[in-house]
Amino acid sequence: MEPRSLRRPEGLLFEISRPGRRGYSLPPLDIPEARAFDLEPRYVRPEIEGFPELSETEVVRHYTRLSRLNYAIDLGLYPLGSCTMKYNPKINEKVARLPGLADIHPQMPEESAQGCLRLMHDLEAALCAICGMDRFTLQPAAGAQGEQTGIMMVRAYHRERGNPRQVVLIPDSAHGTNPSSAHLSGYRVEPIASNERGCVDLGALRRRLDEEVAVLMLTNPNTLGIFESEIEEIARAVHARGALLYMDGANLNAFVGIARPGDMGVDVHHINLHKTFSTPHGGGGPGAGPVGVKKILEPYLPVPVVERTEGKEGTLHRLRHDRPKSIGKVRSFFGNFGMLVRAYAYVLALGPQGLRRMAETAVLNANYLRARLEPTYHLPYTDPSLHEVVLSDRHLEAAGVHTLDIAKRLMDYGFHPMTIYFPLIVKGAMMIEPTESESREELDAFAEAMLRIDEEARRDPELVRTAPHTTPVRRLDEVGAARHPVLRWSPSRPGAGS
């Protein structure tokens, strides 16, 4: 049994609130307050109905207690495939909070924000070098917004050539964001089937390509962790029909310093700074999704772009808005700057050798886990793995134990589960990405847990099917949650309370 405190349910803010408590102090108002209420009553609310009233002490305890109900990368392996849950260096948190960077208002005159602009310029240059692209926009707030930005640029490119085209081709193994982003950019989505190796079927692609197709969106390495080794032929086939090649860079961690999208015929791709470049995932975000482009797409980049100029006053960094072919803006200001600071610090900390070692170790760790688990777990696609490996629950069919059960049972062994039931082309998929952050001992402990769960599944399947047993709450009724949605606390709702 775990200590009681770990299981103790924490009341909601609104339940622990007591009238008259406060957790905040302001200096005395240094101007005549009467002026404030010159506002006619029709503008003013009597109070913020339902808002909590808590002392500072209670707020701190509430959130500290809540935090203890979470798993986190600093507690151990977090092998979510395609999410690249790696260590978030603490120095990055510190530098992003330096007052000279954290307290700068986005409307500061350019000449007073040269440090911010230079950092953005230098990060862009580093990303161009890492990815082999000509320019990057740092504006998109996350990978999906990067996809959308990239596809909008593709559309602008085709439109300028007289026909925006109608179709985006997407392999059936792709992330759901790909079709959604393409749709949001005004395109019709058509899936491309994978071949028996789990890669793009080049023949099927060639047959489908015509003047309707605007772009192929390809994830490389794909969501099975397999490198699309025919990527050069794919790029040639796509370009031969006037279409472009988009690469989803979610899995870039697999080959940083080893190979570059720009050398593979990729015209445009996004990367996730919260994956490859170590910025923390924050329980859901913020991320950042910079988009790299080749020269042909540069005119369409979102505004503003940062330009470095050398003049008689020395080096200056300027924001350029005067770009008539730009797609516009996908968000206010310049991007998730705080995440750019962290990513830049990460690049500097690793340098060229460290970045390569990062990718090498990520691939080494994934292959090590594959070697340890392959004899026991079903491996649906046997091509060489890069940064992640996808297993399935097929070998436990007779025992009636499924991927979900294995995932839940891992929690009892102290691990966060892997990504499950994705990619969709594998039934009962378990997608495991250990990243370079894990020691051999941590990988061994995970492998042992997986092997013991396999034994348990055969010996005592009920134990696995009813897992987890040691977590603050056990399996939750998700169907009921969706059928009768309760999306906020309310004082009148019966049955509240734990």
Partner 1 sequence: MGDGHRYIPASDADRAAMLREIGVPGIDDLFASIPPALRLTKPLAVPGPLSEMELLAELAARGGENRAFEAHAQFLGGGAYRHFTPSIVDHLIGRTEFYSSYTPYQPEISQGTLQAIFEYQTLICQLAGLDIANASMYEGASALAEGVLMAERLSPKGRVVLSAGVHPEYARVVRTYLDNLDVAIATIGQRPDGTADAEAARRALGEGTRASALVIQHPNFFGCLEEVEELARAAHQAGAALIVAVSEPVALGLLKAPGHQGADILLGEGHSFGVPLSFGGPYLGFMAARNAFLRNMPGRLVGETRDVDGRRGYVLTLSTREQHIRREKATSNICTNEGLCALTAAIFMAALGKEGLRELAVHNHAKAAYAQKRLAATRGLRLPHGAPIFNEFVVTLPVAAEAAVRALGERGLVPGIPLSRYLPERERDLLVCVTEVNPRSEIDRLAAELGRLA
The token pair at 188 is 């019709």
Residue 385 or residue 458: which is nearer to partner 1 going by CB?
385
Kindly indicate which of the ranges 202-210, 237-245, 332-340, 451-459 contains the residues binding partner 1, using the contact rule CB under 8 A.
332-340
Work out whether 302 is an interface residue with partner 1 (CB under 8 A): yes
If we measure between CA atoms, which residue out of 4, 6, 15, 165 comes closest to residue 490?
Answer: 15
| Residue pair 156/133 in contact by the 8 Å Cβ criterion | no
Applying CB under 8 A, among 308, 329, 378, 465 the residue interacting with partner 1 is: 329
| Distance of closest approach, residue 320 Cβ to partner 1, in angstroms | 14
**DSSP class per residue in 108-168:** S-GGG-HHHHHHHHHHHHHHHHHHT-SEEE---SSHHHHHHHHHHHHHHHHHHTT---SEE
Tokens of 41: 């009553």
Please report how close the Cβ of residue 219 comes to partner 1 at its closest, in angstroms. Answer: 14
Compare residues 95 and 204 and give the one whose CB is closer to partner 1. Answer: 95
Angle at 347 between CA 146 and CA 75, to 5 degrees: 85
Q: Binding to partner 1 (CB under 8 A): which residues in 416-445? A: 416-417, 422, 436-440, 442
Contacts to partner 1 from residues 352-371, by CB under 8 A: 352-358, 360-361, 363-365, 367-368, 370-371
Would you list the DSSP string of 201-270?
-HHHHHHH-STTEEEEEEESS-TTS---TTHHHHHHHHHHTT-EEEEEETTGGGTTTT--GGGGT--EEE
For residues 407 and 432, which CB has a smaller minimum distance to partner 1 in the complex? Answer: 407
Q: Which among 239-247, 291-299, 390-398, 469-477 is the span making contact with partner 1, rule CB under 8 A? A: 469-477
Helix (H) or strand (E) holding 447: helix 440-459
Residue nearer to partner 1 on the CB measure, 289 or 398: 289
For residue 497 the two structure tokens come to 């309370």
Beta bridge partners of 371: none
Smallest distance, partner 1 to C-beta of residue 301, A: 12
In this chain, which of 296, 333, 382, 448 binds partner 1, going by CB under 8 A?
333
The helix/strand/coil state of 343 is helix
Residues 192-231 that bind partner 1 (CB under 8 A): 226-227, 229, 231
Rounded least distance, CB 189 to partner 1, Å: 5
**Segment 73-112, which members bind partner 1 (CB under 8 A)?**
73-75, 78, 80, 83, 85, 87-89, 91, 93-109, 111-112
Residues numbered 122 to 161 that lie near partner 1 (CB under 8 A) are 122, 126, 129-130, 141-145, 147-148, 152, 155
